[in-house]
Structure 1
């Protein structure tokens, strides 16, 4: 049976000298993986490496095989052509970080159309905006709600945040509690839109501290989460 769905390509990993395994997050089926034979060959093939770049938004046609087997990719075509994302060095490194991050947390994710649309709309927005230093932080914080791990601000006056339990509190009673300006900024960021982030995160240190804090939070609340290696490159570009 042939299936057609829109998808966001998360990664493509070398499988052999001429083939790769492509992982994508689809609108209707969640995570899908395909082995694409011959794509690394010098011979002309149906698919090219440029057609499966990370975070490409595409339409895929495929045959779903038995449970546990890689699906067979029949066709792929672009849905969105980015204008700036591939050519702007900072945006392309944000995209590299996001693709590694999403591959990490969306390992077994099933259908979730609202989260798919959030990721898709965010990528289109990143392609178009001219101020993007805080984009990855905004993306991560807004994603918390779709993953079901967004903290609630139960009291505006609480001065500490318990990373392990995901709650604000008024006592620093564990090794996983943080306080100070970081918590003040985090509370503000949870309730505003992207354009307002620049009123709060104005310096490189603020952005780096907030990103590191979010990585710790994801590590506690997403099983098997690993800090993306590409984050160090991204931090370096903003320094």
Structure 2
């Protein structure tokens, strides 16, 4: 067993025994791994629970042992203390959504350094005060689909693949225009689209992800996110 360093992004955690947790962390070097943190919930814990909230960026020293499904962390440090995300309702809601998307899209052992770098820069962008948030979740879904391997070339191919026109293909022109703007402008998108179109596009993207990832359960964070998009 050897000690190795890696950056990591926390996706989620569950309680384990009386004072411990099992945390899922997407690491840059080793992909998605599960780690047990003994005593994390005890009053005298050395590892603060704040370190293991969704989307926290960590610098890690981990025990690397092949063939182990549950690993251990030797040392964890905050790579970036958040300034806005935990204290801003909209940003924290987007962060919850991003963590859920990643948790459903990335499987155990999945490793992609370029995807990690994109996620890290996106999380840092979310924590900046001048970042426009109105299109942020949808841009995140589009950009992530590129790294996950199922991004559409354009809006026409997106809706053709989706094979679902809830209001008929002729009524989808605004959604198509919106998606083309997102594809072209990414996080720099500042075009104003009606909230109804943005909510519709969110529903289309979630169906698109569900089809590609074979998801059969609901998105927990979407209800809050949809309210934010009103």
Q: Quick check: TM above 0.5?
A: yes
Query: Is 1:187 the equivalent of 2:176?
Result: no
The answer for the alignment partner of 1:163 in structure 2 is: 161
* Local SS of the residue matching 1:132: coil
- CA distance in 2 between partners of 1:160 and 1:99 (Å): 24
Q: Does 1:98 align with 2:98?
A: yes
The match for 1:5 is 6
Matches of 2:157 and 2:79, distance apart in 1: 46
Secondary structure of the structure 2 residue equivalent to 1:214? helix
Deviations 1:94-130 (Å, cap 9, x if unpaired)? Answer: 1011111111111235221110000000111111134
Q: For residues 134 and 151 of structure 2, what CA distance do their matches in structure 1 show? A: 22
Give the number of the structure whose residues are more often helix, by fraction: 2
2:211 to 199, 220, 230: 220
1:48-68 Cα deviation digits (max 9, x unpaired): 111211111111111123414
SS in 1 for 2:76: strand
SS of equivalent residue, structure 1 residue 124: helix
Residue matched to 2:16: 15
Match of residue 53 from structure 1: 53
Tell me the CA shift for residue 161 of structure 1. 2.0
Deviation larger for 105-114 or 141-150:
105-114
| Structure 1 residue ranges, 4+ long, deviating more than 4 angstroms after superposition | 174-178
| Structure 1 residue 236 displacement after superposition | 1.4
Contact 1:159 1:184 in 2 (8 A): no
Q: What is the root-mean-square deviation of aligned Cα atoms in Å?
A: 2.2
> Aligned-pair distance for 1:192?
2.2
For these two proteins, the number of residue pairs brought into alignment is: 224
d(CA) in 2 for partners of 1:119 and 1:92? 16
Q: CA offset at residue 186 of structure 1?
A: 1.9
Query: Which residue does the alignment assign to 1:24?
Result: 25
Deviates more, 1:226-235 or 1:7-16: 226-235
Deviations, residues 130-168 of structure 1 (Å, cap 9, x unaligned): 421211111111111111111123xx8x5982234xxxx
User: Aligned with 1:133: secondary structure?
Assistant: coil
Contact in 1 for aligned 2:7/2:57 (Cα 8 Å): yes
TM-score for the superposition, normalised by structure 2: 0.89
Name the CA shift for 1:112/1:66 in 2 (closer, same or farther; >3 Å). Answer: closer
Question: What TM-score comes out, normalization by structure 1 length?
Answer: 0.85
How far the C-alpha of 1:182 sits from its partner, in A, is: 1.8
How far does residue 92 in structure 1 lie from its aligned partner after superposition? 0.7
Measured in 1, the distance between the counterparts of 2:158 and 2:210 equals 19
Q: Partner of 1:111 in structure 2?
A: 111
SS of corresponding position for 1:6: strand
